[in-house]
Amino acid sequence: MRFDAITLFPEMFDAVLDYGITRRALDRGLYRFRAWNPRDFTDDPHRTVDDRPYGGGPGMLMLAEPLDRALNGVQQDLADENLTPWVVHFSPRGRPLTPQRVMELKEKPALVLLCGRYEGIDGKARAGIAVRALRRHRRAAAAAPRRRGMFPRRLCALGR
């Protein structure tokens, strides 16, 4: 299986890839990984990958053009190996990433992980790419009951 991550911080994956079980699996050839930085696919000297939302609003959005170019680079690299990418964007608006969905994704030969930043990605990028948006799965029924104690009161006292 091959994983490609389009991320503004490719160095963050070193902590996962260089140690532990994931390192041993990588050494055995159970998976392959490559990080792609969208800043490498920009034209301007500042390597800009974000902009304010069109029409206003809070925060910044990742631009569609660098993401599109990075995804095209990934697709060309995968085409050399006759692999079709399955693009996954992690977003709070996506479908939950459940254990069943992980088992489905496990069967894909190549996953492209679109790691968002800021307030999200430009709508033009989402419209032009067949993206499956996923979010972290939370179990509502198994949540532990919240205990009342001194800790919340201390926090309230500090805030006054």
Helix (H, G, I), strand (E, B) or coil at 133: strand
**Contact partners, residue 72, CB within 8 Å, separation at least 6:** none
- Please give the residue range of the domain that contains residue 12: 2-159
**DSSP for residue 44:** S
**Tell me: the pLDDT tens digits for 82-91?**
998 888 887 7
Provide the pLDDT for residue 158.
35
Residue 33: pLDDT above 90? Answer: yes
**Edge-to-edge strand list for the sheet holding 131-136:** 32-36, 2-6, 110-114, 86-97, 131-136
Q: What is the pLDDT of residue 5?
A: 93
Q: Report the predicted TM-score, pTM, of the whole model to 2 decimal places.
A: 0.74
Model confidence pLDDT, tens digit, residues 35-93 = 999 999 988 888 878 777 777 777 777 777 888 889 899 999 999 999 988 888 877 77
Classified as helix, coil or strand, 3 is strand
According to DSSP, the residues that pair with 87 across neighbouring strands are 112, 131
Amino acid 28: pLDDT: 96
CATH number at residue 84: 3.40.1280.10
Per-residue pLDDT at 95:
83
Cβ contacts of residue 89 below 8 Å, gap of 6+?
A: 114, 116, 121, 126, 131, 132, 133, 134
- Chain segment 96-154, per-residue pLDDT in tens: 888 998 899 889 999 998 887 766 676 666 555 555 555 555 554 344 444 444 333 33
Could you tell me which residues are beta bridge partners of residue 86? 111
Q: Please tell me the total count of domains within the chain.
A: 1
Radius of gyration of the chain (CA): 19
